[in-house]
Amino acid sequence: MDSDIIITATGKAYDTGYQSMRPIFSSEISYQKINESVVGTRVWSGVTGEAVAKEMLVWSERDGLLRASMCQHYLREEGELERDGNKVQFMLSSHKTQYNQRTCNMRINKLLVTLLSMPLEIVRNWEQLKAGESFDRSYAVLKAQNHTGVRFKMDDDNHQSIVCVTPLNPVFRFIFGSLKFVFEPGRPLLKEIFGLIEPRDHKVNGKYKEHIAFFRFDTPLDPGQVIIPITTKYKVN
């Protein structure tokens, strides 16, 4: 397969639960256009530079998310999904499955997203979002082998363009709030992200610590280099 272009960016995440702005993770993200698809990778690292979590995806402009995976190195947790039409197969190996691979098959009609694919969906539908339209996707939760509805909507002003991705389920909306992608004003250049990030921790009491963070890119990320935004005027998928 011919590789057209690769874009990369780095940044740091700060836990929003603390007053001090001390980085808790650093991250490197890349998107590579290969023929009709985009292959994405994001690696999260701790203070020593050792990887603590990794996300990967294969995404297409026509069909959205086709494959996705995550790995939490310290938790020995790995999850994947593969999509063929409306048939989706989830695979998970974690503490919850006694570290045996568990497979779950289901039918999902909506286009799927993960945290890593959301910037691609936003830039793909940038003009529609700027026009005040919203659209829904189904967020794939690899750690739970499930999915839940989310809505994309832009709040545009003279200082910045913010796209909020909000859970449709009121319980998830209360727990996690909206994920906010902050772009340069009127331009699809991603500067910051507020909300849930991929790395998580397992507490001694058995519960999980999900990190709600503020992530700032060292230089803005331009996903438009690897996808073609929709410019014709029609209803968002």
Domain containing 53 — which CATH number?
Answer: 2.50.20
Q: What is the span of the domain harbouring residue 125?
A: 3-225
On the question of pLDDT at 143 being above 50, the answer is yes
Q: Which sign does the torsion angle of CA 227, 232, 233, 237 carry?
A: negative
Mean pLDDT of all residues belonging to the chain: 91
Q: Which of 19-23, 41-45, 53-57, 97-101 has the lowest mean pLDDT?
A: 19-23
On the question of pLDDT at 232 being above 60, the answer is no
3-state SS of 130-182?
A: HCCCCEEEEEEECCCCEEEEEEEEEEECCCCEEEEEEECCHHHHHHHCCEEEE
Q: Which sign does the torsion angle of CA 124, 34, 37, 139 carry?
A: negative
Phi-psi region of 204 (alpha: psi -120 to 50; beta: other; left: phi over 0): alpha
Q: Check: CB of residue 104 under 8 Å from CB of residue 89.
A: yes
Q: Give the number of other Cβ atoms within 10 Å of residue 211's Cβ.
A: 20
Predicted confidence at residue 2, as pLDDT, reads: 46
Helix (H) or strand (E) holding 104: strand 102-107
What is the Rg, in whole angstroms, of the alpha carbon atoms belonging to the chain?
A: 17
On the question of pLDDT at 158 being above 80, the answer is no
Residue range 133-147: mean pLDDT, rounded: 95
Predicted confidence at residue 21, as pLDDT, reads: 83
Within-domain flag for 49: yes
Instruction: Give the distance, in angstroms, between the CA of residue 32 and the centroid of all CA atoms in the same chain.
Output: 16
> What digits encode the pLDDT tens for the residues 113-126?
999 999 999 999 99
Predicted confidence at residue 198, as pLDDT, reads: 93
Predicted confidence at residue 236, as pLDDT, reads: 47
Within-domain flag for 110: yes
Residue range 24-49: mean pLDDT, rounded: 93
Predicted confidence at residue 235, as pLDDT, reads: 46
> What digits encode the pLDDT tens for the residues 161-211?
999 999 999 999 998 899 999 999 989 999 999 999 999 888 889 888 889
> What digits encode the pLDDT tens for the residues 12-36?
999 888 888 889 999 999 999 998 8
Give CA–CA dist 164/181, Å, rounded.
6
What share of the chain has pLDDT > 90, as a percent?
A: 74
Within-domain flag for 234: no
Within-domain flag for 108: yes
On the question of pLDDT at 55 being above 80, the answer is yes
Give CA–CA dist 125/136, Å, rounded.
12
Within-domain flag for 230: no
Within-domain flag for 232: no
Q: Which of 38-42, 107-111, 129-133, 233-237 has the lowest mean pLDDT?
A: 233-237
Distances (CA, A) of 5 to 21, 142, 223: 34, 28, 11
Q: What is the dihedral of CA 145, 176, 114, 98, to 10 degrees?
A: -30
Within-domain flag for 44: yes
Nearest CA among 32, 34, 26 for reference residue 1: 34
Tokens, residue 3:
């590789």
Predicted confidence at residue 186, as pLDDT, reads: 87
Within-domain flag for 177: yes
Predicted confidence at residue 146, as pLDDT, reads: 94
What share of the chain has pLDDT > 70, as a percent?
A: 95
The three-class DSSP label of residue 234 is coil
Pairing of the two strands 51-60 and 64-72: antiparallel
What's the pTM? 0.92
Q: How many structural domains compose the chain?
A: 1
